[in-house]
Amino acid sequence: MQRIRNSKFPILLTLSCLIASPKAFCVDSSPSTQNASSLELFEGKNVYRIYCAACHGDLGDGNGPAAAGMSPAPRDFTTGVFKYRSTPSGSLPTDEDLIKVVQWGVPGTWMPGWKDLLSEKQISDVVSYTKSFLTESHKWDHIEPISSLIESPPQPDSKILRDGEGFYLLFECWTCHGFDGRGTGPSAKTLKDSKERSIKPANLTNSNYRAGFSPKDIRKTFLTGLSGTPMPSYQDMFLIAKEDIEEADFSNTLPSKAQKTFHDFLTHLPSYSDLNKLTEIEQKALIIRNEWALVHYVRSLAKKENLIDWFFRSNPESESLKAKK
Ligand code: HEC
Ligand code: HEC
């Protein structure tokens, strides 16, 4: 990533919420507005004891009696490191983010969905209670989601898929997820989470994504990153000019088929002077278009794996069941 030149355009190459020091970077330390009433907390505690403590532990530290050997492990609520957020890398999640995870669960992990068993009120109470585990040095504040997450995706076409593959190569997603998306890239074996446990990159060819497979969910995942894991945040990185990239630096590491795709992608990138001609609104639209390009490419990795699954799940509306609308 460091091989992309620092340009005059706002490409922020800081992967601010990497696992190295999650406490320092991943926690919003503004003053507390823990405004749950004591009744809510009391009710929430009752729900928590019955339904959550076995995995997440009485102390909320993820060390419940059932947690031993679970991978991924139940979340430790004391550290303020949360994976499933609509908020920027380094922030705590919103209440809505937490409620959504508790309602729908995390597919392919031990975290069940609770919406059929618990009422809305019980879920909101238990979420308030889990928030109370956060250690004193970090506080819940009013947290805003990234505003552009409400945008809707354009239809995929061959140009957008070409550019999406280009970004996948440029941002070196393949070093972890592999060229084919199966999660077996060269760095895959060495990855650790923020608690020094081994962690594997997601297999992107299996559309049962933990963080959701709808276009909006996938875009959210790479814009916000999965805090506490090596999956970085790629916010503010999608306005790139030809001149920012030294082709040779990248091409040497790519197999010959990918070299051709990458070269093709570079020739179609705008130059500095093209970008300078754009208004701020046009630049913003280009950024969002490029983000969707990567989304469509990631989804196409799963399409190759299972055409039938892709067909039934390519309509975002019909995905709400799996993808936690
Ligand atoms: C059978 C074990 C189990 C039970 C019971 C359970 N969880 Fe979880 N929970 C997990 C696991 C495992 C994860 C981690 C999933 C991941 O990393 O993708 C998790 C993740 C979460 C997250 C996601 C946090 C984030 O990083 O975004 C929340 C919130 C959560 N659990 C709340 C609850 C609540 C509230 C209850 C009770 C109503 C509960 N869990 C019950 C196992 C469990
Ligand atoms: C340093 C290694 C690394 C790089 C680079 C990386 N990822 Fe990831 N990614 C991971 C890991 C590890 C996970 C799984 C985290 C977990 O277990 O929850 C993941 C998870 C994901 C998920 C979530 C899948 C799910 O089940 O919801 C998506 C989508 C994803 N990555 C896409 C990308 C894209 C696109 C890029 C490049 C822009 C990228 N990743 C770059 C390591 C990486």
- The binding-site residues of ligand 1, defined as CB within 6 angstroms of any ligand atom, are 51-52, 54-56, 66, 70, 72, 74-75, 82-84, 93, 98, 101-102, 106, 109-111, 114, 126, 130, 210
For the entire predicted model, the pTM comes to 0.87
Rounded to whole angstroms, the Cα distance separating 211 from 140 reads 22
Q: Output the pLDDT for position 315.
A: 43
Q: Indicate which ligand has the atom closest to the C-alpha of 87.
A: 1
Residue ranges of domains in the chain, CATH in brackets: 22-131 (1.10.760.10), 149-323 (no CATH)
Residue nearest to atom 5 of ligand 1 (CA): 52
For ligand 2, whether the C-beta of 191 sits within 6 Å is yes
Q: How far apart are CA 174 and CA 189, in angstroms?
A: 13
Average pLDDT score over residue span 84-109? 95
Residue whose CA lies nearest to ligand 1 atom number 16 = 72
The pLDDT value recorded for residue 320 is 40
pLDDT category at 204 given cuts 50, 70, 90 is: very high
How many other C-beta atoms lie within 10 A of the C-beta of residue 39? 9
Mean pLDDT of 69-82: 96
Angstrom CA distances, 266 to 2, 74, 225, 261, stand at: 17, 42, 25, 9
**Please, which residues have CB within 8 angstroms of residue 88's CB and are 6 or more apart in sequence?**
146, 224, 233, 235
Amino acid at 50: I
pLDDT value at 129 more than 80: yes
